[in-house]
Structure 1
Amino acid sequence: MLTLSVCAVSAPFFSTLRRTVLLFGSRTFMEQTQIHKPFTMGGKRPKYSTADEAVKSIKSGDQVFIHTAVAAPQHLIRAMTARASELKGVVPVHIHTEPGTVSAGAPYADPVYEDIFRSKCLFIGSNHRQAVNDKRADFVPCFLGEVPEFFRKGKIPLDVAMITVSPPDKHGWCSLGTSVDVSLAAVESAKYVIAQVNSYMPRTHGAGIIHVSHIDELVEHHSPLPEIGSPHVPHHIESVGKHIADLIPDGACLQMGVGAIPDATLRHLGNHRNLGIHTEMFSNGLVPLLEKGVITNHNKHILPGKCAVSFVMGYGDFYKYLNDNPLFFFAEVSIINNPRMIKWNKLMHSINSCIEIDLTGQVCSDSMGLKMYSGVGGQVDFVRGASLSEGGKAIIALPSVTSKRHGNHSRIVPTLKTGSGVVTSRAHVHYVATEYGVVNLFGKSIRERAELLISIAHPMHRETLEKAARERFGPSFRTFY
């Protein structure tokens, strides 16, 4: 018999709530946020099943949500894929999932199943990139922070949600673990919820604590979470990270992603003080700064004392570090990625990367010409939120050229490739960093922007970029660097 426990809520939490009410005042705004809403008891009586039994609830034509990133329930996914001969027109709905290969992470995206499964990607991961570009899967352009409303308002109705949870405690409460993001809304909105119970899933604090009475079927299967990332960072990326770190003052609040540039930046912040975290996602790079006392979250206005995050990926002992760790508060992306929330953290510094940027400052982050690569994610929300923050900076960071394997082409270009999406407009873009320095485009004319961006391009491409700029702006155009 499942019983309801009364959860103690810390004084800083109520302090944050009070400040949020004072800041926004609006009942409507507060009702739209989940940061202050405990997840209540549901009305379901879950049963334990095998994966094969549980996925029989999936019918032809169903839209099936799959938990995000390393929380993707691979045991359930394999069981669903094994039913392919019994199904038709099933639509898996998700952000990106891990592992990043089709065979390991998304077997239903294999071309042999194109008449059975057609994914609806809200962000494109590596295991769906080919399927989207081969027109076997669909991409939905969206701000990640708006996805929960897609589910709650029925814009993308969900028939089934497949998630991974930590083992329930004695009161029946379990955790969405590494990914609260859009997954909390999926659990609330789906008609039927199947949960893989995995003892390797960390029990994380925050809004992802749910009761088993919101779940229809529980499937026990224990396996390590995928490990994502690498401690190795190329030398030129280290230089990008150093330039970014030099922009960040003591007391700043940071948003960064997962990858070489965020890791390089974090490595150069060891002598900073009183940094805070309010970010969509993070990885291992944060841990040394927490252990050293560089990250304290003391100066944050939203969730002071906590690293506010939506989902995580990492490697090694990273997931063990998260387990039952009150330093981290996992919240939905409608909160974490909300510019109205982000801007209230003073000295908010957002660090985002891109595929290429043109000489006017237009940023492409989701595509390579007509070929889709990723998605919009939270970049625009954090760029805007950081720009509005008192003392904040919005930073776009990229290496100056593509890898040697991809031809060492300049990533600062005269114009974006035909078909490329403009994720972040030139009006939004302020700071741009490469290994050759940092420029601030805020308040600069189109011509001035071109001059500044060429100054941080790779030297072997500057002459070509100058020629293109002269053709656009006239023969008197020249750069000074």
Structure 2
Amino acid sequence: MTEWIEAAAVPQMLRPGMQVFVGGSVMEPLALLAALKDAPEASCGVTYITNPVPGLSRIDYATFHPEARVITNFMSDRMQNSFAAGKIDFIPMQYHQRHFFVSGPLKIDVALVQYGPPDENGMCSPGYGIDFVPAVLERAKLVIAEINEALPAPPHLPKTHISKFHYAVRSQTPLQLLRVVPVDEVSQKIGAHVAGLVRDGDCIETGVGAIPNAALAALGDRNDLGVHSGLISDGVMALARAGVINGRRKNIDTGKIVTGIVAGSNELMQWAGSCPDISYRTVDYTHDVALLGGIDNFVAINGAVEVDLLGQL
């Protein structure tokens, strides 16, 4: 049975040597993390497992205590100092493989997650994303959930019964928003070139940043586009509202916008909170290479951070 506690009680549950999974991106449990930051001794000898998303993840858990560490498969600018100090174990891997990493060999003593309030049947919605969390809930020895009253229960987002949580903390944390990156002239030109490669009926995947945003903005004259992506942002909303994205020609998940996470402006979050066309799926589905290979006319649109002299992104 779930026990309701105050956030201040969470630090008392950690012990040196523990490995603690923290839900990332829009699922980051900020009230729980604030309590841990205010009780630094609780993180002595603790290793946090995280997956930071640039623009969303603003906390470096390795700074909670001089002997706190982090295991991550992504790096962000906020983690530079801890990485230089040798406090971060950076393990690069393909995103799909991370699902099997956290659901298989990785020891998880505690999971810190965020969900919305339970409905009349005790079912809680993770709000705007599902990502890796369901796999972790099955493996963590102790699950502590921040139950955030601000989170909606979007249609087609798999829910979890509150009994899955050993402890629950009530909060009213504001929605986490991802700043929409302005599209400059260079990005606009690149985006136009990219958009020229997308045909009517294609199924697209997009990342975040100026170039994917510019490409989406240039697709307004296409018809019957589909979406299968790990993350969707404001550009997808605009095309869906215009009827450009409708998924009619998708051979898999016909008519659905498939994603693991929704991240963007407040307008996007309000739209996604009630949109019946979004199908939220875990990473083992959104990033499954075999599945992606079976999607007809699949087009991936992502921005590269840099290119080396050998042409590697």
TM category, shorter: over 0.9
- Say whether residues 1:190 and 2:140 are aligned partners: yes
Give per-residue Cα distances to partners, 1:255-308, cap 9 Å, x unaligned: 111111111011000010000000111211111111110000111122111111
Structure 1 match to 2:170: 220
Structure 2 match to 1:400: none
Instruction: Report matched runs for 1:47-66 at 5 Å.
Output: 47-66=3-22
Contact 2:209–2:303 (CA under 8 A) maintained in structure 1: no
2:106 to 142, 150, 156: 156
- Say whether residues 1:203 and 2:203 are aligned partners: no
Give per-residue Cα distances to partners, 1:213-242, cap 9 Å, x unaligned: 111111111121222122521111011100
Q: TM-score, normalised by structure 1?
A: 0.62
**Deviation of the 1:322 alpha carbon:** 1.3
- Say whether residues 1:289 and 2:239 are aligned partners: yes
1:89 to 19, 36, 45: 45
Structure 1 match to 2:66: 114
Contact 1:97–1:127 (CA under 8 A) maintained in structure 2: no
Structure 2 match to 1:311: 261
- Say whether residues 1:340 and 2:295 are aligned partners: no
**Deviation of the 1:125 alpha carbon:** 2.5
Aligned partners of 1:241 and 1:190: how far apart in 2? 42
Which segments of 5 or more consecutive residues in structure 2 lack a partner in the other structure?
none
- Say whether residues 1:143 and 2:99 are aligned partners: no
Identity of aligned residues (%): 27
Structure 1 match to 2:251: 301
- One-letter amino acid of the structure 2 residue matched with residue 235 of structure 1: E
Aligned partners of 2:47 and 2:106: how far apart in 1? 11
Aligned partners of 2:59 and 2:286: how far apart in 1? 27
Aligned partners of 1:81 and 1:99: how far apart in 2? 20
Contact 1:184–1:208 (CA under 8 A) maintained in structure 2: no
Contact 2:30–2:173 (CA under 8 A) maintained in structure 1: no
- One-letter amino acid of the structure 2 residue matched with residue 324 of structure 1: S
Larger radius of gyration: 1
Q: Cα gap change, 1:263/1:86 in structure 2, threshold over 3 Å: closer, same or farther? A: closer
Q: Cα gap change, 1:320/1:252 in structure 2, threshold over 3 Å: closer, same or farther? A: same
Which segments of 5 or more consecutive residues in structure 1 lack a partner in the other structure?
1-44, 364-481
Q: For 1:353, what is the secondary structure of its paired residue?
A: coil
Q: For 1:247, what is the secondary structure of its paired residue?
A: coil
- One-letter amino acid of the structure 2 residue matched with residue 83 of structure 1: A
Aligned partners of 1:309 and 1:100: how far apart in 2? 17
Contact 1:119–1:138 (CA under 8 A) maintained in structure 2: yes
**Deviation of the 1:80 alpha carbon:** 1.7
- Say whether residues 1:352 and 2:302 are aligned partners: yes
- One-letter amino acid of the structure 2 residue matched with residue 283 of structure 1: S
RMSD: 1.9
Aligned partners of 1:47 and 1:237: how far apart in 2? 50
Instruction: Report matched runs for 1:362-381 at 5 Å.
Output: 362-363=312-313
**Deviation of the 1:86 alpha carbon:** 4.0
Structure 1 match to 2:189: 239
Instruction: Report matched runs for 1:24-63 at 5 Å.
Output: 45-63=1-19
